[in-house]
């Protein structure tokens, strides 16, 4: 049997996405509470995500949308897959913490604040996930715009802080020379 490079590269990209999800799952978590979620987006849902990114960009940035959300939407369209890593917004009940800026979790929750550990866990999980791309020889870029948009998608569900990581396996990293900068 002969397998063409395109087939093998698609397999490698999805295997890397799976390893990224595993790395995010096993990353250390604050106070021993696992709030991490992962999703891999391809095909039609990936295009829907890119279109929604442009819509959100127009809402947030008006005619400057192409300088950030539009640029990132084009990267999503060109990616073979997008890995989403999220952390559910849950209060940890860590005594005497205050990292959120409030005296305790009760005060944070009463004010509508977010637990700082959700952001810490998300950062650690995303860092662990992208480490798997190096071993897999797959290019990636962590994108806030993808994560903010994913939170609006019906398949993302729940109150989750997301970051998105488009993946590419090509002759040149498409996430490097993007030539559009945002304010």
**What is the model's pLDDT at position 60?**
95
What is the pTM for the complete model shown?
Answer: 0.92
Do the domain assignments include residue 133?
yes
The pLDDT of residue 22 is above 70 = yes
Do the domain assignments include residue 182?
no
Residue 144's alpha-carbon distances to 2, 107, 115, 148, in angstroms, are 40, 28, 18, 6
The pLDDT of residue 66 is above 90 = no
**What is the model's pLDDT at position 31?**
80
Beta-carbon contacts of residue 70 (< 8 Å; ≥ 6 apart): 53, 54, 57, 180
Do the domain assignments include residue 151?
yes
Do the domain assignments include residue 164?
yes
**pLDDT tens, position by position, 88-146:** 988 888 888 899 999 998 999 999 999 999 999 999 999 999 999 998 899 999 999 99
The pLDDT of residue 11 is above 70 = yes
Tell me the CATH number at 94. 3.40.109.10
Q: Could you tell me the residue range of the domain that residue 84 belongs to? A: 5-168
The pLDDT of residue 178 is above 80 = no
As a whole number, mean pLDDT of residues 52-81 equals 94
Do the domain assignments include residue 173?
no
Do the domain assignments include residue 138?
yes
Do the domain assignments include residue 175?
no
Do the domain assignments include residue 60?
yes
* Structural domain count of the chain: 1
């Amino acid at each position: 049997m002969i397998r063409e490079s395109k087939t093998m590269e698609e397999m490698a990209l999805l295997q890397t996405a799976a390893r990224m999800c595993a790395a995010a799952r096993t990353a250390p978590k604050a106070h021993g509470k696992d709030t991490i979620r992962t999703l891999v987006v391809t095909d039609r849902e990936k295009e829907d995500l890119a279109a929604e990114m442009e819509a959100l960009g127009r809402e947030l940035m008006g005619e400057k949308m192409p300088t950030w959300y539009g640029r990132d939407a084009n990267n999503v369209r060109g990616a073979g897959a997008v890995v989403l890593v999220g952390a559910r917004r849950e209060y940890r009940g860590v005594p005497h913490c205050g990292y959120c800026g409030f005296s305790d979790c009760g005060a944070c929750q009463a004010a509508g604040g977010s637990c700082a550990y959700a952001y810490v866990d998300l950062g650690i999980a995303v860092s662990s996930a992208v480490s798997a791309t190096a071993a897999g020889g797959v290019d990636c870029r962590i994108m806030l715009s993808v994560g903010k948009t994913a939170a609006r998608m019906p398949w993302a569900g729940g109150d989750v802080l997301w970051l998105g990581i488009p993946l590419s396996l090509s002759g040149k990293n498409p996430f490097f020379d993007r030539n559009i900068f945002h304010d």
